[in-house]
């Protein structure tokens, strides 16, 4: 089977919430493509499609939850390959991840959390539309090494900057790294607001987290 067909089969299985089909396609794909490829081009593509359909009112929340469950089952199968080289049971770092206040987009952030977790990080996903102070409180509570800030709208992008200001006010800016992401975010924006890094997608988020925390 060509890789494109394999990726489409994976994506379609996620959109259809068929967990058994996702697992079967992942097992088949493990001999043909890397774990990151299977996730980025198959599982995450399917989940992104679910997100688009949900926002258009074509799908409802129970479907989104079932699709996410199917995707997670696929990611778990690939966990050994993703965390290869990190050492058995070794925790790579503690990350608090969430979508900033005023923004209810959740799917892309959830994919990032799943990938980070599968790669050996301890992830505290605090959800969407998160009051900015909650990022600070949670980071302090779990002794986080990094905060992930997602914003999918230009109107909520400012929230990323405000969290960094709060870290400065609380004397935490030197001890906690900040990674930003989301459609309107860019590398230039990350530099402008003083974030440590920007990630365009889930696999890049994992690479950046490893780069800054290991």
User: What is the per-residue pLDDT across 160-204, written as a single tens digit (0 to 9) for each?
Assistant: 999 999 999 999 999 999 999 998 999 999 999 999 999 998 888
Q: pLDDT digit string (tens) for 134-170? A: 999 999 999 999 999 999 999 999 999 999 999 999 9
Q: Which domain holds residue 175?
A: 94-213
Q: How confident is the model at residue 88 (pLDDT cuts 50, 70, 90)?
A: very low
CA nearest neighbour of 140 among 113, 117, 163: 163
Are 76 and 110 in the same domain?
Answer: no
Are 108 and 204 in the same domain?
Answer: yes
pLDDT at 212 over 80: yes
Taking the CA atoms of 40, 135, 171 and 93 in sequence, report the sign of the dihedral they define: negative
Is 165:192 a contact under the CB 8 Å cutoff?
A: no
H-only helix segments in the chain: 3-15, 19-29, 35-38, 44-55, 61-77, 79-82, 107-118, 132-142, 158-169, 187-193, 202-213
Residue 57's domain is classified under what CATH number?
1.10.1240.10
Are 119 and 208 in the same domain?
Answer: yes
**Number of domains within the chain:** 2
CA nearest neighbour of 37 among 74, 7, 68, 5: 7
Are 27 and 75 in the same domain?
Answer: yes
Within a domain: 17: yes
Residue 106's domain is classified under what CATH number?
3.40.50.280
Within a domain: 52: yes
Which of 23, 56, 82 marks a domain boundary? 82
- pTM value is 0.77
Are 111 and 143 in the same domain?
Answer: yes
Angle (CA) 54 52 50, round 5°: 65
Specify which residues 96 forms β-bridges with: 124, 147
């Amino acid at each position: 089977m060509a890789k494109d067909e394999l990726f489409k089969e994976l994506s379609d299985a996620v959109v259809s919430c068929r967990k058994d089909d996702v697992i079967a396609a992942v097992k088949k794909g493990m001999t043909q493509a890397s774990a990151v490829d299977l996730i980025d081009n198959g599982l995450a593509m399917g989940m992104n499609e679910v997100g688009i359909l949900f926002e258009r009112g074509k799908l409802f929340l129970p479907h989104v939850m079932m699709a996410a469950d199917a995707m997670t089952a696929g990611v778990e199968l690939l966990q050994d390959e993703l965390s290869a080289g990190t050492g058995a049971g070794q925790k790579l770092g503690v990350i608090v991840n969430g979508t900033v206040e005023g923004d209810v987009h959740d799917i892309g952030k959830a994919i990032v959390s799943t990938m980070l977790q599968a790669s050996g990080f301890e992830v505290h996903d605090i959800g969407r539309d998160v009051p900015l102070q909650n990022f600070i409180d949670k980071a302090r509570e779990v002794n986080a090494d990094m905060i992930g800030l997602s914003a999918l709208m230009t109107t909520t992008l400012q929230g990323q900057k405000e969290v960094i200001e709060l870290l400065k006010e609380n004397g935490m800016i030197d001890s906690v790294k900040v990674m930003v992401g989301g459609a309107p975010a860019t590398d230039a924006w990350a530099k402008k607001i003083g974030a440590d890094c920007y990630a365009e997608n889930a696999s890049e988020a994992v690479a950046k987290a490893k780069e800054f925390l290991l």
